[in-house]
Chain A
Amino acid sequence: MRNLTAAFFIALLPLGASAETPEEKGLAIAVEADKREAGWVDGIAELKMTLKNKQGETSERSIRIKTLEVEGDGDKSISVFDAPKDIKGTAFLSFTHSKIPDDQWLYLPALKRVKRIASANKSGPFVGSEFAYEDLTSQEVDKYTYKWLRDEQLDGRDCFVVEAYPVYENSGYTREIVWIDKEMYQPLRIDYFDRKNAELKSLVTGDWQQYLDKYWRPGFTEMTNHQTGKSTRLAWSNYQFKTGLSDRDFDQTTLKRTR
C-alpha cells in the first residue's frame, strides 16, 4: 500500500512545477527550444563581422553562410568570405558535432586547393574573432547538460535563466549562463565562464525577427571578452529559408565551386 502511494506521487511529480528538479526544468527548456527550432530545413544568411580591440581599432569581414539542418547531429554549413579582398572566395565547410571534433575543410582560392583542418579547435576562435566555433554552431540538446536557475526579466522581457554545462571535453568553458526569452525560446544573453570558471565573455543578441511565422533570428549578436577588452559584433541580414539546398551542396567538391 505504501509502495503504491509512493508510485502514485512519483507519477505525479512532473506535473507540479515545484516538484520538477532544476536539472529537469533546464533540460525541458532546452528540449522545447530545440523543438521550436526544428524543421527549417536549410537557410542562407549574410553576415558582417566587426572586430574591435581595446584600443578601439576595428576590422570588418563579410561572410555568406549556407546551412543545412541535419536531424540528430550538428548542422552542415558553408561560409564564404567576400571581404576583405585578400581572402575573397575562401570557403569553409563544416560538419558540426555535439560531442566530438567537427569535420572542417577550407578552400583556398589562391592555392586552388581544399585543405582539411585537422585540429581540436572547436573551442578556438572563429577567424580571429571573440566567437569560438562552439558558440556559432547549432545548439543541439545533447551538447550540454542543463540546470534551470531562476526566472527573471532582462531588458523588460521574461526569461528563463538556465545554466548549461558543455559535454565536449575540449570545450573552452566550464559553464554558460543563458537568458532564454520565454516567448521566442532564443537566448538574449549568454555569459561564458572559462576553464577555470572565471567570467570570460558575454554574448548579447538583439533585433530579433520571426521568419516563416516560426523561426526567430537575431539582427545582431555581439560578443565581448571581459578579460582582454576585445569584442566582435555580427550583423546578420538577408535570412532565407527552405531554399532547396541538399547534402550535395555541402561536400568537398562543391566547396571548390562555391562562389
Chain B
Amino acid sequence: MKNFEVAFARWVIRNRYAIIVLSIAAIFVLAAGATKLRFDTSYRAFFSDDNPQLIAFENLENTYVKDDNVMVIVAPLDKNIFTRDHLQAIEEITAASWQVPFSNRVDSISNFQYTEAEVDDLVVRDMVKDAQSLSDGELAKVRAAVMAEPALVKRLISERGHVTAVNVTVQLSPDQRAEATGVIAAAIAKIVEETKARHPDLDIYLSGMVMLDQAFFESALDDSTHLVPLSFALMMGLIALLVGGFFGTLVTFLVIAFSICAAMGIGGHIGFPLTGLSSSAPIIILTVAVANCVHLLVTFAHEMHAGRDKIVAMEESLRVNLQPVFLASATTAIGFMSMNFSEVPPFNHLGSLVTFGVLISFILTVSFLPALMTLLPVQVKKTAEDDYRRMDLLAEFVIKKRRRLLWVTSIIAIACVANLPRNELNDIFLHYFDDSLTFRSDSNFMIENLTGLDFINYSLNSGQSGGISDPTFLQDVENFAVWLEAQPEVTHVDRFTNIMKRLNKNMHGDDPAFYSLPKERDLAAQYLLLYEMSLPYGLDLNNQVNVDKSSTKLTATVGVLSSKAMIDFNLRALAWAKANAPSFVNTDSAGISLMFSYIGQRNIVAMLLGTTIALVLISGILIIALRSLRLGSISLLPNLAPAAIGFGLWGIFVGQVGLSLSIVAGMTFGIVIDDTVHFLSKYLRARREKGLSSEDAVRYAFRTVGRALVVTTLTLVVGFSVLATSKFQMNSGMGLMTSIIITLALVLVFLMLPPLLMKTEENTTYA
C-alpha cells in the first residue's frame, strides 16, 4: 500500500504536463452538458411520479381542471372596493388577465355570473359591467349582491369589502411549466404596473401557485447569482489566509471550479433539472471539495517549510494524504448518495450532483493539483510556529483532562439527545421562503385580509351518472360544506350547492324563501342544464362538476396549518364524510399543502433507510481502512453524536424539522467522518510506524493534522453558513444545521475521540 502511494506520487509528478492537459480537456467535455441544464422550479418537482398524493392530485385535475393560478389581490387605500373607479380597475384587470398566456379562466367579482329572474327569463350576466356608468343606487345593489354571495365572500372579496382578488387560472402541461411560469409572471407584472399607473390609489399583491413556482425560481436564481460568488470569495479568502498563499489559492480555485463545472455538466448530460435545491449543489461541492485541497496543501507547505524541495514536498504530501483524502472523499460521496433514497427528486439530484463533484474533486486534487502546483513558482511563507504551539497546548489539555472531558462531553451529548423528540416534522411551503421574498409577504397579506392560500379539494362521488342532481346527494354535499365551514382550520368552502340554491331562488321569481336546494332530481338537473347553457366563454362548470355529472368538487380553503394539523384535518373531514354523508360513494381529497404535509413523513421513512445504509457503509469503510474493528467501532461514537446533538439542540431552539433537514443526518455523517479519518490515520501512523504510545500518538495527531482539521472545518462552516443565508428555507435550514453538526464534530473529535482512544488503547501495543 505504501509502495503504491509512493509510486502514484512519482507517476503524477512525471506525467504532470499530460495530466494538466488531459484534466482540462476532460473537464471541458463534461462541463459541456451544463448547456442542457434547465430550471424546473415548479412545486410539482418535489414529488416523484409515483407519489400517491401527487397521483391523487393529478387525478382530480384530470377529472375537473387544473387549479394552478395567480391571485391578483387589490386593496384600495380608501378600504372600499365598491366605488366606480375601483370596480372599473377590477374590470380592467379581469379583461387584461384573459390575455395572460396559458390562462383559460379568470374569476373576479366583476365577471362573476350573477343570475336573476326577470319575469320568465333567467338573466345570467356579469356582476359588474361598465362600472363607470353605475348610479349610486346600482353601486349599492352591486355591493349587496357581492356581499351576499357565499362563493365570493372570503374568497374573492373580504368580509369588510376592503380587499378583492382576481383569480387567473392557467393550464400548464408538464413540459412547459418551467418556461411558462416566467412568461405568466411577466404578463401579470405588466398588468399590475399598468393598473397602478392608471389607479395609483390601489395596492396590488400577488399570490397563488404560479407565484409559488416563481418564488422557487427567484430564490434558486438568487442563490446561484449571489450566494455562489459570495461563497467562492469567502472560501478563497480563507484558503489564501490560512493555507496556500497566492498559488495555492489559485490552484484550489481551479480544482473547485473544474469540479463544479464538471459535476453540473454531468447533471446536464443526464438531464437533471435545476431546482431550488439542486442549485445549491455548487456551494456544497465548493465547500466539501476545499477540504481535500487543504489537506494536500497544508502538508506540502509543512514539508517545504521543513526545507524540502517542492517536488519532494509534494510527493510526501501525496504519500501521506492519498489514503485519507480518498477515504474522506468516498465517505462524503456515500453520505451524499444517501440522498438518493429521498422521496423528493430534487434531493436525489442534489445528492448525485455533489457526489459527482466530490469524486471529480478527489481525482483533480491528487493529480491536477500536484501537477500544476509543482510547476508554479511556489514560495512558502513562514508559517507561524504559534499554530503548532496552540495545537500542542490543546493536545496537552486533552491528555491531562481526558477523564473529565469524557464525562462532560458525554453528559452534554446525552442532555441534547434527550431533546430529539421535541422536533416536529413540518413542511409549510409558504414558510420555505423568508420574509424578504414578496411571495411570502404578499401571501401573508392575502391570508390576513382576504382568504387562505392553501386548499384541499374534495371530489365527492355520487356513484351514478347525473347523480349530482340527486336531492339526497346535494343535501349531503351541503351538510359536508357546513360542517367544514364550522371547522377552525377552514376559511372558505366553495361548493356546487351554492349555485343550485341560487338557481332555485331565481326560478321562483327571486323569492328568498326558495334559497334552498331543489327537492326533485329532474328539476335540479334541468336547472343545471339551463344554467350551463347560459354561461359564457371560459366560465363553465368544468372546474366543479365532472363530465358524467356523477361527482362534484368541493374546495376548502384553509389557513396556514402545520403538516400534522393539515393531515389531521383532512382525515377528520374524510371520516366525517364517511360517517355522515351516506350518498358519497367515495371521497377523494387532494391539495398542494396536503402533498407537502405527507412528503415530509414519506421522506423521513425513506431517509431512515438511506441514512442507515450510508452509516453501515461508511463505518465499514472506516473499519477496513483502519484495519481495526475496535478503532472503527470506537470512532463511531464521536461521528454519530454530532448529528444527534445537533438535532437535539434544534429540538430545543427551533423544533420544526422540514424536508431538507431530514436529509442532513446522512449527508453530514459522510462529511464529519473525515475529521476522524484524518485524525485516526495520523494517530495510527504514529503508533504503527513510529511506535509511539497512545498519548504521544494523540500529540502527534494533533500536531500534524489538528491545524488542517480546524481549517477544513472553518471552510465547511463558512460555506454552509453562506447557504444558511439563502432566502429559501430548505437551503438555509440545511446550511445552518450542517454548520452546527460540523462544528460539533470537530469539537468531539478534539475533545471526545482522544480520551476514548487513550482509555481503550491504554494497554494496546502495535508491533
Per the bound structure, the CA–CA distance linking A109 and B526 in Å amounts to: 8
Q: Say whether A115 contacts B536, CB under 8 Å.
A: no
CB nearest neighbor in B for A86: B525
The verdict on B546 contacting chain A, using a C-beta distance below 8 Å, is yes
Q: Say whether A119 contacts B534, CB under 8 Å.
A: yes
Q: Scoring A residues 213 to 247 as 1 if CB is less than 8 Å from chain B, else 0, what string do you get?
A: 00000000000000111100000000000000000
Q: Of the candidates B469, B533, B536, B547, which one forms a contact with A106 in the assembled complex, judged by CB atoms under 8 Å apart?
A: B533
Would A90 and B526 be within 8 Å (CB), given that A106-B533, A198-B102 are in contact?
yes
User: Separation in Å of the A34 CB from the closest CB of chain B?
Assistant: 26
The verdict on A72 contacting chain B, using a C-beta distance below 8 Å, is no
Q: Which residues of A contact B530 (CB under 8 A)?
A: 106, 108, 115, 117
Q: Say whether A124 contacts B534, CB under 8 Å.
A: yes
Q: Of the candidates B62, B65, B542, which one forms a contact with A128 in the assembled complex, judged by CB atoms under 8 Å apart?
A: B542
Would A119 and B536 be within 8 Å (CB), given that A53-B547, A59-B465, A230-B542 are in contact?
yes
The verdict on A210 contacting chain B, using a C-beta distance below 8 Å, is no
Would A106 and B529 be within 8 Å (CB), given that A115-B120, A124-B534, A124-B537 are in contact?
yes
Q: Say whether B122 contacts A117, CB under 8 Å.
A: yes
User: Residue among B507, B535, B537 with the most chain A CB within 10 A?
Assistant: B537
Q: Scoring A residues 24 to 64 as 1 if CB is less than 8 Å from chain B, else 0, what string do you get?
A: 00000000000000000000000000011111011100000
Q: Scoring A residues 116 to 135 as 1 if CB is less than 8 Å from chain B, else 0, what string do you get?
A: 11111101111110001000
Q: Which residues of A contact B534 (CB under 8 A)?
A: 117, 119, 121, 124
Would A119 and B521 be within 8 Å (CB), given that A58-B548, A84-B466, A86-B469 are in contact?
no
Q: Which residues of A contact B526 (CB under 8 A)?
A: 86-87, 90, 108-111
Would A53 and B537 be within 8 Å (CB), given that A121-B124, A196-B101 are in contact?
no
Q: Say whether B63 contacts A53, CB under 8 Å.
A: yes
Q: Say whether B104 contacts A227, CB under 8 Å.
A: yes
Q: Which residues of A contact B124 (CB under 8 A)?
A: 117-119, 121
The verdict on B6 contacting chain A, using a C-beta distance below 8 Å, is no
CB nearest neighbor in A for B98: A195
Per the bound structure, the CA–CA distance linking A257 and B544 in Å amounts to: 33
Q: How many residues from A make CB contacts under 8 Å with B?
A: 47
Interface residues of B in 536-560 (CB under 8 A from A): 536-542, 545-549
Q: Of the candidates A54, A87, A126, A227, which one forms a contact with B525 in the assembled complex, judged by CB atoms under 8 Å apart?
A: A87
Q: Of the candidates A81, A118, A125, which one forms a contact with B532 in the assembled complex, judged by CB atoms under 8 Å apart?
A: A125
The verdict on B49 contacting chain A, using a C-beta distance below 8 Å, is no
Interface residues of A in 56-78 (CB under 8 A from B): 57-59
The verdict on B99 contacting chain A, using a C-beta distance below 8 Å, is yes
Q: Say whether B525 contacts A57, CB under 8 Å.
A: no
Q: Which residues of B contact A111 (CB under 8 A)?
A: 507, 523, 526
Q: Say whether A54 contacts B62, CB under 8 Å.
A: yes
Q: Which residues of B contact A125 (CB under 8 A)?
A: 532, 535, 540
- Interface size class, chain B: 35 or more
User: Separation in Å of the A69 CB from the closest CB of chain B?
Assistant: 23
Q: Say whether A59 contacts B62, CB under 8 Å.
A: no
The verdict on B224 contacting chain A, using a C-beta distance below 8 Å, is no
User: Separation in Å of the B238 CB from the closest CB of chain A?
Assistant: 52
Q: Scoring B residues 50 to 75 as 1 if CB is less than 8 Å from chain A, else 0, what string do you get?
A: 00000000010111111000000000
Q: Which residues of A contact B524 (CB under 8 A)?
A: 86
Q: Which residues of A contact B64 (CB under 8 A)?
A: 53
Q: Which residues of B contact A51 (CB under 8 A)?
A: 547-548
Q: Say whether A84 contacts B529, CB under 8 Å.
A: no
CB nearest neighbor in A for B469: A86
Q: Say whether A124 contacts B540, CB under 8 Å.
A: yes
Q: Which residues of A contact B507 (CB under 8 A)?
A: 111, 115
Q: Which residues of B contact A110 (CB under 8 A)?
A: 520, 522-523, 525-526
Per the bound structure, the CA–CA distance linking A85 and B549 in Å amounts to: 12
Q: Which residues of A contact B469 (CB under 8 A)?
A: 86
Interface residues of B in 100-127 (CB under 8 A from A): 100-104, 118, 120-125
Q: Which residues of B contact A198 (CB under 8 A)?
A: 101-102
Q: Which residues of B contact A115 (CB under 8 A)?
A: 120-122, 507, 530
User: Residue among B98, B120, B522, B548 with the most chain A CB within 10 A?
Assistant: B522
Q: Of the candidates A52, A86, A132, A228, which one forms a contact with B522 in the assembled complex, judged by CB atoms under 8 Å apart?
A: A86
Per the bound structure, the CA–CA distance linking A19 and B620 in Å amounts to: 85
Q: Say whether B529 contacts A87, CB under 8 Å.
A: yes
The verdict on A172 contacting chain B, using a C-beta distance below 8 Å, is yes
CB nearest neighbor in A for B124: A119
The verdict on B171 contacting chain A, using a C-beta distance below 8 Å, is yes
Q: Which residues of B contact A55 (CB under 8 A)?
A: 59, 62-63
Would A121 and B529 be within 8 Å (CB), given that A57-B548, A229-B62 are in contact?
no
Q: Scoring A residues 125 to 165 as 1 if CB is less than 8 Å from chain B, else 0, what string do you get?
A: 11110001000000000000000000000000000000000
Per the bound structure, the CA–CA distance linking A34 and B536 in Å amounts to: 28
Would A123 and B537 be within 8 Å (CB), given that A115-B530, A195-B98 are in contact?
yes
User: Separation in Å of the A110 CB from the closest CB of chain B?
Assistant: 4
Q: Which residues of A contact B522 (CB under 8 A)?
A: 85-87, 109-110
Q: Say whether B62 contacts A116, CB under 8 Å.
A: no
The verdict on A114 contacting chain B, using a C-beta distance below 8 Å, is yes
Per the bound structure, the CA–CA distance linking A120 and B378 in Å amounts to: 82
CB nearest neighbor in B for A88: B522
Q: Which residues of B contact A109 (CB under 8 A)?
A: 522, 526
Q: Which residues of B contact A54 (CB under 8 A)?
A: 61-63
CB nearest neighbor in A for B468: A86
The verdict on A95 contacting chain B, using a C-beta distance below 8 Å, is no
Q: Say whether B121 contacts A228, CB under 8 Å.
A: no
User: Separation in Å of the B362 CB from the closest CB of chain A?
Assistant: 48
Q: Say whether B120 contacts A124, CB under 8 Å.
A: no
User: Separation in Å of the A94 CB from the closest CB of chain B?
Assistant: 10
Per the bound structure, the CA–CA distance linking A116 and B455 in Å amounts to: 37
Per the bound structure, the CA–CA distance linking A77 and B466 in Å amounts to: 26
Q: Scoring A residues 155 to 190 as 1 if CB is less than 8 Å from chain B, else 0, what string do you get?
A: 000000000000000101000000000000000000
Q: Say whether B549 contacts A59, CB under 8 Å.
A: yes
Per the bound structure, the CA–CA distance linking A84 and B467 in Å amounts to: 11
User: Separation in Å of the A48 CB from the closest CB of chain B?
Assistant: 14
The verdict on A113 contacting chain B, using a C-beta distance below 8 Å, is yes
Q: Scoring B residues 591 to 627 as 1 if CB is less than 8 Å from chain A, else 0, what string do you get?
A: 0000000000000000000000000000000000000
The verdict on A258 contacting chain B, using a C-beta distance below 8 Å, is no
Q: Say whether A128 contacts B541, CB under 8 Å.
A: yes
The verdict on A92 contacting chain B, using a C-beta distance below 8 Å, is yes
CB nearest neighbor in A for B526: A108
The verdict on A205 contacting chain B, using a C-beta distance below 8 Å, is no
Q: Say whether B546 contacts A117, CB under 8 Å.
A: no
User: Residue among B99, B118, B536 with the most chain A CB within 10 A?
Assistant: B536
Per the bound structure, the CA–CA distance linking A194 and B536 in Å amounts to: 14
Q: Say whether B123 contacts A118, CB under 8 Å.
A: yes
Per the bound structure, the CA–CA distance linking A81 and B525 in Å amounts to: 12
Q: Say whether A53 contacts B535, CB under 8 Å.
A: no
User: Separation in Å of the B511 CB from the closest CB of chain A?
Assistant: 14
Q: Which residues of B contact A108 (CB under 8 A)?
A: 523, 526-527, 529-530
Would A124 and B125 be within 8 Å (CB), given that A53-B546, A58-B548, A227-B104 are in contact?
no
CB nearest neighbor in A for B59: A55
- Listed in ascending order, the chain B residues whose CB lies under 8 Å from chain A are 59, 61-66, 98-104, 118, 120-125, 171, 465-466, 469, 507, 520-527, 529-530, 532-542, 545-549
Give 5 CB contacts A-B under 8 Å: A54-B63, A110-B522, A116-B120, A119-B124, A128-B542
**Nearest 7 Cβ contacts at the A-B interface:** A86-B525, A123-B537, A54-B62, A55-B62, A59-B548, A110-B523, A119-B124
